[in-house]
Amino acid sequence: MIAFKLAYRNLVGAGLRTFLIVFVLSVAYVLIIFMNGLYQGWEREGKFEMIRWEVGQGQYWEEDYDPYDPITLTDAHAPLPVSLAKATDNGSAAAILITQATVYPEGRMLGIMLKGISAGQQVLAIPTEQFASREDEIPALIGTRFAQSANLNVGDRMLVRWRDVNGTFDATELTIAGIFNSSVPAVDNGQIWISLEKLQQMTGMPGEATLLVMGEHADMPAEVAGWEFKGHDVLFAELDQMIKTKSIGGSVFYLILLALALLAVFDTQVLSIFRRQREIGTYISMGMTRSQVVGLFTTEGAMHAILALLLGAVYGTPLLLYIGSKGLGMPEGTDSFGLAAAQRIMPYYSAALVIGTIILVIVATTIVSYMPSRKIAKMNPTEAIRGRIQ
């Protein structure tokens, strides 16, 4: 306690130099929390939206399905397994059948993924209730991105051409019944959604699906013959990887700032131990042991981090909370990476992030304060009092 008091007095007495170091350290705190909060917010938001629009609580894939290889789609369909039928029937799982197709809006030709999804599903946010509109035509749903890039509007009719189960081409007309706005490009770009029953009829694959998206209330059996379960670990792997890459890139900035501040603390310590020999000798003459003096100087250096924490809290808390409530606009085209990204990201500052950052900065500052201070333990007090140590 006394060490804190003395360290505080000494630091405050040192004036501008202390303030500059404390300021830079405080910026390091705020920046570390802000940047990581942003990535965590993005991750949370991204996952939340992906769960809502694409992945649910996990998926069962027909064993031949490979999303990276559209050629496999001709084989990647199978009758729904009995163990999952109940969930699909009551809407707690969404069955999806996927096939490649071509559409011809106003004479143009576009290669697309035609996806059939059960109309009664309550798992994904895709507004499948709109399928129930009319009997005579095929109502289709698309996302805003695709609508914009392909210049499609509600009410547009177009020819669609696909191969059925035997590989024979067939064609019919579908109508854009609705355009939904999702932050998940994977359900939007180049995709047209129609009802599962319609697609099953069109392709001659009644009762079949390519994958099943499971909702919160669905039972998820561990083993389903012919189907493979993909949990969040697999389905989020790409998003996780991307955020990790980005956050490593982003961390370079604040790590440099932190390193600069630590260097300044180190330098201050070296200098003050050299300049304050007489003071060190005097402490010893008054009955402090050398290790107590080491502790005093270490505390003094580490105190930079404590003062920086207070200063950082003063301007950082309102700043971070403000950005946290308003969100941060993402630059155009962030979602062109093909991964979920909202227009605005809400940074998320977890307790672990805040506490972890505080510990990181305090521990790092303490270490760089301690290293030069060890020299005191080897000082001869009589020489220190005379200020004669070189």
Partner 1 sequence: MKNGTIITIENLAKHYPMGGGKFTALSDINLTFSKGEFTGIVGPSGSGKTTMLNIIGSLDTPSEGATNVLGTTSREMTPKVAATLRKKHIGFIFQTYNLMSVYTVYENVEFPLLLLKKSVSERKKAVMDAIQWVGLTDKIKSKPPQLSGGESQRVAIARAMVKRPELVLADEPTANLDAKNSHHILRTMEQLNRELQTTFIFATHDDKVIQYLRRIITLEDGTVASDEIAKQ
Residues in contact with partner 1 by the rule CB under 8 A: 2, 5-6, 9-10, 12-14, 278-279, 281-282, 284-290, 292, 381-382, 385
Query: Cα(212)–Cα(229) distance, rounded to whole angstroms?
Result: 9
Query: CB-wise, 28 or 307, nearer to partner 1?
Result: 307
Q: Nearer Cβ to partner 1, position 84 or 288?
A: 288
Q: Which is nearer to partner 1, 57 or 299 (CB)?
A: 299
Work out how close the CB of 309 gets to partner 1 at its nearest, in angstroms, rounded to a whole number.
22
The whole-angstrom separation of Cα 105 and Cα 9 is 77
CA–CA distance, 307 with 310 (Å, rounded to integer): 5
Considering the complex, what minimum distance in angstroms separates the CB of residue 9 from partner 1?
A: 6
Strands (E) in the chain, as ranges, are 59-62, 78-79, 93-104, 110-117, 138-143, 157-163, 169-180, 191-195, 208-209, 211-214, 227-230, 328-329, 344-345
For residue 284, the minimal CB distance to partner 1 (Å) is: 7
Q: What is the C-alpha to C-alpha distance for residues 384 and 372, in angstroms, rounded to an integer?
A: 16
Q: How far is the CB of 279 from partner 1 (least distance, A)?
A: 6
CB of 324 to partner 1, least distance (A): 39
Least distance in angstroms from the C-beta of 278 to partner 1: 6
Q: How far apart are CA 29 and CA 308, in angstroms?
A: 8
Question: For 224, which DSSP code?
Answer: B
Residue 295 beta carbon to partner 1: minimum distance, rounded to whole angstroms: 13
**139: how many CB neighbours lie within 10 A of its CB?**
21
> CA–CA distance from 203 to each of 101, 197, 199 (Å)?
11, 10, 6
Could you tell me if 218 and 92 are in contact, meaning their C-beta atoms sit under 8 angstroms apart? yes
Residue 17: helix, strand or coil by DSSP?
A: helix
What's the min distance (Å) between Cβ of 370 and partner 1?
Answer: 20
Distances from the Cα of 333 to the Cα of 35, 189, 309, angstroms: 20, 13, 36
Residue among 201 and 282 whose Cβ is closer to partner 1: 282
Token pair recorded at residue 171 = 């064609």
**Which residue's CB is nearer to partner 1, number 9 or number 157?**
9
CB nearer partner 1, residue 10 or residue 298:
10
Nearer to partner 1, 76 or 284 (CB): 284
Specify the residue, 166 or 390, whose C-beta has the smaller distance to partner 1: 390
Shortest CB 386 distance to partner 1, Å: 8
User: C-alpha 156: how far from its chain's center?
Assistant: 37
**Contact partners, residue 336, CB within 8 Å, separation at least 6:** 185
Residue 151 or 285 having the CB closest to partner 1: 285
